[in-house]
Amino acid sequence: MELAFLADVPVAQAEVLSFRDQSAYVVQRFDREDGPGPLALRLHAEDLAQSLGLRPDQKYEPSAGRVVSLLKTHDLDGSLVRGFVRRLAFTVIVGNSDAHAKNYSVLLRPDAIALSPMYDVLPLFLFPDVDHALAMPIGRARHPQEVTPDHWARFARSIGEDEDEVVGLVTDVASAMGEHVDEVWDDLDDDQRMQARDVVARNVERTLAPR
């Protein structure tokens, strides 16, 4: 989450807090905004599984292409698709293979639709006993360490977007992540810190490789 913030990918404010003998991951609400009076206004938020009319147990079914198709029906200026591609790029490069449709949300206002900030991001490779296949494969690549610019170009073609623009969005995120990849792992133990830094740095390098 901190790396996403440093890479200029919209992300909710979050931290790990201790409550007596328990630790908890706490995310500041992003579905509220200041109102005219003392009370905050509620924004209607729904995750993309809900937007697609799916049950929670179907959250792994939607592909990234299906999400883009949904967003395009409400995307007047292309900002929803561009924003989703940036979030998707960060997710892949950081190794968050469990980013299913419930890990992306939209905020619905009477006059506009916007993507929510990211709120559930972690380098899943730090947990060796879970499935590391991408919930949303990119250009047929099923694991984060397989994804290259050519896969992103194939993904762009599959969603009907310009290859250079999509690859440009992805490399912009990768470049920003590379600038800050050494700064965000201090709370991990030594082995995990080295692993996280090295894996993400390799994913950045692969994403920035010439096509």
Confidence (pTM): 0.94
Q: Is the dihedral of CA 138, 88, 159, 116 positive or negative?
A: positive
Predicted local confidence at residue 39, as pLDDT: 85
For the chain, the residue count is 211
Q: How far is CA 76 from CA 73, 82, 111, 118, 143, in A?
A: 8, 12, 12, 22, 32
Predicted local confidence at residue 35, as pLDDT: 82
For residues 114 and 100, give the distance between their C-alpha atoms in angstroms, rounded to a whole number: 18
Q: Is the pLDDT at 55 greater than 90, yes or no?
A: yes
Predicted local confidence at residue 211, as pLDDT: 86
Task: List domains and CATH numbers for the chain.
Answer: 2-30+44-207 (1.10.1070)
Asked if residue 198 lies in contact with residue 139, where contact means CB atoms within 8 angstroms, the answer is no
Q: Would you call 101 helix, strand, or coil by DSSP?
A: helix
Q: What are phi and psi of 115, to 5 degrees?
A: -75, 140
Predicted local confidence at residue 7, as pLDDT: 97
Tell me the average pLDDT across 108-116.
92
